């Protein structure tokens, strides 16, 4: 480990304390969220059509907070706020907006205004802004762009959604390895049109294929006369333009990347992806897993309500099908229930507990698959692991509920039946919880999307069947 370098002692005018504090503390709470009273004040000003006051309130906000503010307003207030603060509506605000909120706002703006904003944005943010527009609106915006930007955006749109080609920025610094550190610094100082923020310089061969990278910290610390091929790192992670964003995020994580070169089929450098985009993608992909596992699709709280209803309802209808299937198992034992209604009282415990245990396993397995921790190499070990956990939990819960039932209803046979059914259903849950997602993953189906339906079907039907079946078999009813 190294200690912090000594400070340069030649120091004059100290800065006032105020510079250290964040200027936004009047609008932000301790968790860095906009204060409700601040949002209230903005809403009131919008309602009173007091544009000047809206502007005064928002003027000092960070663009990311302006974006948050938009999301917190009611839908009809958003375009009114946008008009009031039009010259604060910079590119950072647009880039930070939630997809749904941006889409609605962008649709409300005329094509030439959208084009103006797009020209100020990096390609990746410009693409994000217009990719969700419908075809006609997209064409209208593209027509307003200058030819070079239009070409860049059209090229990006030619790649499938959520791939590197869409996400990459076409602004990067690429030079040849024969340059010296000094040449590079001069080159950077002379070319004002270079990207404002970059963290690595890419080194390319004459065919424009990446052969190495140089972190800026290395360049800064190397004497001017050293050629880049002596300082560059040759071992780099290349991202094919067609790679899916989830895969890209995994590579950034695995290799702790700050930026990475995107290459076309011929291996030529065509763009870069930087870690700040990846941070959003990781958040997005992890949220997707939670929401899909829960049957809520990809929707967030800003999704138009009709789309939300459609997505959720379609999953609920699928679930209704499986619920009917499970209930038809109960139907087989209607006679037994009529004779001994206590069975109907106890059966939801067995099915429900199986569902809970299955959900636990499923969540762990889906995350392990998503983060590449569970692969073909350790599948069997993990299946045995889940089986052992299911056995342990099943016996513990079976003893608990079996013993309790025996004592409460003074019926040892009923206790034995529910206890055994609990063990059986916990094993079912553990097995289904790992086999379903692993199988779906094998067939390249996202295990987060549909695993829960299969697992719940398994635990519900097996819960009812094992408990009621054993009851009939043992002559309880």
| Separation between Cα atoms, residue 232 and residue 335, nearest integer Å | 78
174 binds a copy of itself per the rule CB under 8 A: yes
- Interface with a copy of itself includes 226 (CB under 8 A)? no
Q: Which of residues 69 and 134 has its CB atom nearest to a copy of itself in the complex?
A: 69
Site membership for a copy of itself, residue 40 (CB under 8 A): yes
Q: What are phi and psi of 466, to 5 degrees?
A: -65, -45
* The only residue of 360, 383, 399, 413 in contact with a copy of itself, by rule CB under 8 A: 360
Where b means 16+ CB within 10 Å and e means fewer, 91-128 reads bbbbbbbbbbbbbbbbeebebeebbebbbebbbbbbbb
Q: Return the residue of 57, 152, 167, 436 that touches a copy of itself, per CB under 8 A.
A: 152
Nearer to a copy of itself, 258 or 413 (CB): 258
* Residue 337 binds to a copy of itself (criterion: CB under 8 A): yes
Count of residues touching a copy of itself (by CB under 8 A): 185
144 scored as a contact of a copy of itself (CB under 8 A):
no
Q: Which is nearer to a copy of itself, 136 or 148 (CB)?
A: 148
Told to check if 97 binds a copy of itself by CB under 8 A, we report no
Cα 217 from Cα 470, distance rounded (Å): 70
Asked if 411 interacts with a copy of itself (CB under 8 A), we say: no
Backbone angles phi, psi at 101, to 5 degrees: -65, -40
Out of 373, 403, 412, 439, the only residue in the binding site for a copy of itself (CB under 8 A) is 373
Give the shortest CB-97-to-a copy of itself separation in angstroms: 12
Residues 462 and 425 sit within 8 Å (Cβ to Cβ): yes
CA distance 193 to 172: 11
Binders of a copy of itself among residues 306 to 335 (CB under 8 A) are 308-309, 312-313, 315-317, 319-320, 323-324, 326-328, 330-331, 334-335
Write phi, then psi, for 253 (nearest 5 degrees): -65, -50
Task: Give which of 104, 110, 149 is closest to 127, Cα–Cα.
Answer: 149
Segment near a copy of itself (CB under 8 A); pick from 106-114, 133-141, 154-162, 192-200: 192-200
Identify residues 415-454 at the interface with a copy of itself (CB under 8 A): none
> Least distance from C-beta 344 to a copy of itself, angstroms?
3
Binding to a copy of itself by residue 265, rule CB under 8 A? no
Task: Find all residues with CB under 8 Å of 91, minimum gap 6, and list them.
Answer: 117, 120, 121, 125
Q: Are 126 and 148 in contact (CB under 8 A)?
A: no
Among 294, 439, 442, 474, interactor with a copy of itself by CB under 8 A: 294
* Binding residues among 382-401 for a copy of itself as defined by CB under 8 A: 382, 385, 388-389, 392-393, 396-397, 400-401
Residue 180 three-state SS: strand
Residue 454 Cβ vs a copy of itself, minimum distance, rounded to whole Å: 14
Per the DSSP assignment, residues forming a β-bridge with 269 are 263
Q: For residue 52, state whether it binds a copy of itself (rule: CB under 8 A).
A: no
8 A C-beta contact, residue 60 and residue 24? yes
Task: Report helix, strand or coil for 212.
Answer: strand
Q: Rule CB under 8 A: is residue 296 a binding residue for a copy of itself?
A: yes
155 binds a copy of itself (CB under 8 A): no
DSSP output for 236-271: --EEETT-BHHHHHHHHHHTT-SEEEEE-TT--EEE
Task: State the minimum distance, in angstroms, from the CB of residue 412 to a copy of itself.
Answer: 19
Binding residue for a copy of itself, selected from 54, 61, 115, 122, defined by CB under 8 A = 122
Distance CA 125, CA 133 (A): 14
What residues between 201 and 220 interact with a copy of itself by CB under 8 A? 204-212, 215-217, 219-220
């Amino acid at each position: 480990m190294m200690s912090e370098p000594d400070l340069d002692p030649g120091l004059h005018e100290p800065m006032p304390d105020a510079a250290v504090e964040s200027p936004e503390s009047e609008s932000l709470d301790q968790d860095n969220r906009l204060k409700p009273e601040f949002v209230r004040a903005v809403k009131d000003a919008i309602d009173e059509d007091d544009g000047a006051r809206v502007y005064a309130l928002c003027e000092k906000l960070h663009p990311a907070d302006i974006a948050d503010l938009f999301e917190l307003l009611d839908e009809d207030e958003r375009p009114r706020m946008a008009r009031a603060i039009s010259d604060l509506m910079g590119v950072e605000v647009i880039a930070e907006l939630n997809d749904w909120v941006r889409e609605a706002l962008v649709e409300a703006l005329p094509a030439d205004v959208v084009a103006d904003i797009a020209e100020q944005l990096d390609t990746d943010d410009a693409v994000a802004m217009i990719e969700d527009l419908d075809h006609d609106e997209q064409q209208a915006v593209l027509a307003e762009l200058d030819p070079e930007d239009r070409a860049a955006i059209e090229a990006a749109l030619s790649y499938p959604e959520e791939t590197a080609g869409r996400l990459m920025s076409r602004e990067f610094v690429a030079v040849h390895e024969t340059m010296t550190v000094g040449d590079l610094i001069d080159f950077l100082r002379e070319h004002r049109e270079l990207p404002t923020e970059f963290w690595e310089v890419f080194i390319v061969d004459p065919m424009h294929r990446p052969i190495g990278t140089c972190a800026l910290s290395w360049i800064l610390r190397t004497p001017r006369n050293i050629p880049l091929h002596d300082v560059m790192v040759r071992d780099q992670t290349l991202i094919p333009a067609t790679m899916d964003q989830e895969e890209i995020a995994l590579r950034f994580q695995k290799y702790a990347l700050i930026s990475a070169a995107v290459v076309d089929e011929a291996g030529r450098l065509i763009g870069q992806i930087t870690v700040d985009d990846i941070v959003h993608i990781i958040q997005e992909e992890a949220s997707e897993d939670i929401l899909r596992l829960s049957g809520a699709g990809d929707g967030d709280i800003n999704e138009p309500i009709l789309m939300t209803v459609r997505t959720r309802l379609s999953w609920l209808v699928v679930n209704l099908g499986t619920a009917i299937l499970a209930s038809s198992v109960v139907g087989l034992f209607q006679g037994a229930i009529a004779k001994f209604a206590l069975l109907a009282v106890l059966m939801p415990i067995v099915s429900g507990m199986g569902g809970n245990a299955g959900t636990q396993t499923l969540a762990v397995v889906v995350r392990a698959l998503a983060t590449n921790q569970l692969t073909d190499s350790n599948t069997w070990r993990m299946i045995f692991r889940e089986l052992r956990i299911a056995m342990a939990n099943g016996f513990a819960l079976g003893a608990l509920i079996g013993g309790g039932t025996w004592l409460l209803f003074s019926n040892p046979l009923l206790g034995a039946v529910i206890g055994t059914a609990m063990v059986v259903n916990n094993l079912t849950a553990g097995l289904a919880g790992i086999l379903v997602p692993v199988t779906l993953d094998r067939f390249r189906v996202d295990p987060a999307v549909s695993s829960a339906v299969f697992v719940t079907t398994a635990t519900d039907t097996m819960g009812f069947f094992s408990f009621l079946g054993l009851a009939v078999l043992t002559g309880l009813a």
